Structure 1
């Protein structure tokens, strides 16, 4: 079973696509507020909905974009950012 996308992954996918929240929302046919709320770290009780998870996955597939490659890029970037943060201490 494929795992559900996380808030960070949703934001990372949007950023990798070079889209604003508004552009990403329009692509998925959802409100920009929904994307903002989903990406928000402060809204801890607000998880990625099943519907948004499936919308993102199906839209990427429709566009011929490999989700696994994007996620791998996001993970590599997060590791790099963590190393930079640690070196600043």
Structure 2
């Protein structure tokens, strides 16, 4: 639900939520939380291309998104793969 609310997505982007969401993905063991975080990140990145720099840095350091693309739920895999493709 949150990942489809454009105003919420814009505000999260402005409030620098990307590193926080990536941290949650790395630290939680809950697949549902990971799935929700990557869905929000996917929408943030496609609505604000300036966030790609943070995503590239994250991927270089931790490979968080790649790991989710390989080991996440089917939805998390799709969203993570979509981020990695673009």
TM-score in terms of structure 1 length: 0.29
TM-score in terms of structure 2 length: 0.30
Greater helix share, structure number: 2
